Amino acid sequence: MKRPVVLFGNGNYASTISYYLKHDSEFEVVAFTVDADYIVEREKHGLPVVDFETVEQRYPPAEFDIMIAVGFINNNRLRHDCFYQAKEKGYRLPSYIASTASTWNIAVGENTLILDRAIIHPYVEIGANTIIGTGSFIGHHSRIGKHCFLSAQVAVAGSVTVDDFCFLGINSTVSNHVHLGEGCTVGAGSTVIHDIPDEKTVAGVPARELTKAHDP
């Protein structure tokens, strides 16, 4: 029997995750939930969309799990907030690893989503509420923090540290032993070969910090 789960989210990303879970998991999605102010329609893919404020009345934490299916909005801060709001209500937040992903002796936190054909070497640590996109690679002895989002086809070499709240764009690469500080953003197709301080945005090959243009 599949485990019943409510998805926190009602956008395209939630639709995508619901499809994965339906066709490739031990979970059965029974409903979607978001804050009442963000509900446009009361049904999605034939399932109810319920107010998060009262979700526990219809789907009590003792019987249902919640999975956060929100993307990298506001540097992953929205997903962070949803994660802890669900925990405060007493819900379990399970992780999902696609059957086509290749993982070996890794440590994975709650509500971590590892999508199809990702390859993760041994001795990798992945923090809670982090998303590893389709076809991404994470090398041995690397550590990915909490509330991170690695897009599709991201390549992280060995012994890399990625701190919390980082976003790595599609087809980006991080070289061996590099440290990305908290809240960093790496642009699509970029190659990072040096450490990046907290809250910086970098892009290019090799990646360089992007600076805001000043008014004349």
Q: Which residues are catalytic?
A: 140
Q: Fill in the amino acid letter for 116.
A: D
Asked if 67 and 17 touch (Cβ cutoff 8 Å), the reply is yes
Q: Name, in order, each residue with C-beta under 8 angstroms of 179's C-beta and a sequence gap of 6 or more.
A: 160, 161, 163, 195, 196
Q: Fill in the amino acid letter for 156.
A: V
CA distances, 161 to each of 28, 135, 143, 213 (Å): 34, 20, 5, 30
Q: Name, in order, each residue with C-beta under 8 angstroms of 133's C-beta and a sequence gap of 6 or more.
A: 115, 118, 149, 150, 151, 152, 153, 154, 170
**Interior/surface letters 54-76, b for 16+ CB within 10 angstroms, e for the rest:** ebbeebebeebbbbbbbbbeebb
